[in-house]
Structure 1
Amino acid sequence: MTNLIYGIHSVDSAVRSNHVDQLFVCQDRNSEKMGRIIEIAQKNKIPVSFMDVQWFKRSFSDNSHQFIAASSKKESFSKLSLEDFLADATKQHFFLILDEVQDPHNLGACFRIASAFDLSGIIVPKNNSVGITPVVSKVASGAVNHIPFFSVTNLSRTIDLLKEHNFFIYAADGYSELSIYDQSFSGNVALVMGSEGKGIRRLTKDKCDLTFSIPMSGSIESLNVSVATGICVSEIRRNLK
């Protein structure tokens, strides 16, 4: 079951959104929260299976499952193509582009950021990028169920597509002499963040309209990609007109 998600918050969100095929709960564990999730699943006609403790031990490497899991519907993460999504010209869009981010914890955290700041979606290249895994779903705490996720074949062409729809493409680059705090933001925007080790690829960076950095005065010279994403998204959203 490659699409297994787990943890109270992730499963609760997925069940409420009717994005699961089957619910698994431990027959030896009980809680008010778990009972409510079972009730919602039954209301949504989602099959509920009661498993023993050993099933959870075999299925997961640690106890972060909280004795509840669900198999997710694959199509729930990609109902629309990006082209179809962009056809709605009545909305102002703000996309997050992650260039070859491979750590599932970082992607999960970025989903939570995207949810907190009402982003239009997350775009990643298909190759050399983490997709939506059980760990991503767990860290995202339900955000994968309502933030559109687009895995694209060619990121450069996707950026060109965004530009055709009047997007301005920003990139966070630690080497840029321009500060994010000196920029103004308006219209449709996309923010590109680089991978954990290599940053943004040169071809991707060349496609961007403007690069900026996050000024830092302490002894640490770089930030975790999800931390940097949170800072940049917050600042853009605060000033976006």
Structure 2
Amino acid sequence: MTENTKSGRFKPRAGHGSGFHKKGGGKPAPRRPGLPPEGPVLLYGLHTVEAAFANKDRKRLKLFATDNALRRLEERGVVIDVPVEMAMPRALDRMVTKDAVHQGMILEADPLPAYGVEQLTGARLVLALDQVTDPHNVGAILRSAVALEADAVVTTERHAPEEGSVLAKSASGALDMIKHVRVKNMARFITEMGEEGFGCIALDSDGPARLEDTVFTDKTVLVLGSEGKGVRQGVREACGQLARLDMPGKLRSLNVSNAAVLSLYVARMKMGL
């Protein structure tokens, strides 16, 4: 079986449609020395930087790059629309966290806009993460969501990773390819998504039916919870259905990022997407 999961979608209501994309917990994202604590973030790595340049919603500020890295970007057709500061690899090493694989390029950019639920208009498949806090897991989930053409990934404002270098690198460009919506209250979000015609399914290792045997509607929110705790009780109760992922092997549970990709795959098959 797998992690608990659940999500929903809805129209903005008074007091619920603003303030998305607050910073989460954990260590702050790497920033260039001299920048204020809440200043621009540093995005690094070929796929991450390439996706950031392709995203019209991303405000880019400055590119730090080696000669080879700049050539690679240009060979891939990336239009570099910001000032470029040439740098040696060791200088780039000092700008990011230890062992960060920057591949010779670091983009200084503003965080993405604070996407709200209005971004879910027309969505059919939404993935909601209830207090999944590890940026590596969330980054991997964003990547899977893009690969399986989910319309959005929803997290809570608190107890979720902030947008930053680790999340972006783990997502390998996906952060700039899908809407990442943050909500204040996940249970309320699920309830209101249900009112908008979404079927909301929470993954729970003790769910009464397998996900493959669960009835899907043409608009679905899948909800996954944190490893260990799973989907919280209030969020679980807001969902119309609970379902489980049965594992045939000796280990009954999966890492939440693996559970997410399997759940999205099953959902697409069941929904005929």
Q: Normalising to structure 2: TM-score of the pair?
A: 0.79
Residue 63 of structure 1 deviates from its aligned partner by 4.5
Who is 1:5 aligned against? 43
Q: How many residues align?
A: 231
Who is 2:254 aligned against? 223
The equivalent position to 2:84 in structure 1, one of 37, 41, 48, is: 48
Give the unaligned 5+ runs of structure 1. none
The equivalent position to 2:102 in structure 1, one of 61, 65, 79, is: 65
Of stretches 128-137 and 190-199 in structure 1, the one that deviates more from structure 2 is 128-137
Residue 225 of structure 1 deviates from its aligned partner by 0.1
Runs of 4+ with deviation above 3 angstroms: 29-32, 34-39
Does the 8 Å CA contact 1:170/1:190 hold for their aligned counterparts? yes
Residue 37 of structure 1 deviates from its aligned partner by 6.2
What one-letter code is carried by the residue in structure 2 that aligns with 1:68? M
Who is 1:100 aligned against? 131
Q: What secondary structure does 2:127 align onto?
A: strand
Residue 31 of structure 1 deviates from its aligned partner by 6.6
Cα-Cα RMSD: 1.9
Q: Normalising to structure 1: TM-score of the pair?
A: 0.88
Cα–Cα, structure 1 residues 121 and 39, in superposed 2: closer, same or farther, change >3 Å? closer
Who is 1:167 aligned against? 198
Who is 2:234 aligned against? 203
- Report the structure, 1 or 2, having the larger helix content: 1
Residue 26 of structure 1 deviates from its aligned partner by 2.3
What one-letter code is carried by the residue in structure 1 that aligns with 2:265? S
Does the 8 Å CA contact 2:69/2:104 hold for their aligned counterparts? no
Structure 1 residues 162-183: Cα deviation after superposition (integer angstroms, max 9, x where no partner): 1221111001111113111112
**Whole-angstrom CA distance in 2 between matches of 1:37 and 1:116:** 20
Who is 2:116 aligned against? 81
Who is 2:66 aligned against? 26
Give the unaligned 5+ runs of structure 2. 1-30, 32-39
Cα–Cα, structure 1 residues 39 and 112, in superposed 2: closer, same or farther, change >3 Å? closer
What one-letter code is carried by the residue in structure 2 that aligns with 1:153? K
Within-5 A mapping of 1:140-159: 140-159=171-190
Within-5 A mapping of 1:108-123: 108-123=139-154
Of stretches 215-224 and 58-67 in structure 1, the one that deviates more from structure 2 is 58-67
The equivalent position to 2:55 in structure 1, one of 8, 17, 27, is: 17
Structure 1 residues 159-202: Cα deviation after superposition (integer angstroms, max 9, x where no partner): 12212211110011111131111123222110000102211111
Structure 1 residues 18-50: Cα deviation after superposition (integer angstroms, max 9, x where no partner): 4222211025x4574234369611xxx312121
Who is 2:28 aligned against? none
**Whole-angstrom CA distance in 1 between matches of 2:147 and 2:209:** 26
Who is 1:136 aligned against? 167
Higher relative contact order (CA 8 A, sep 6+): 2
Structure 1 residues 57-94: Cα deviation after superposition (integer angstroms, max 9, x where no partner): 212211511111112232x343x420x234x3xx3521
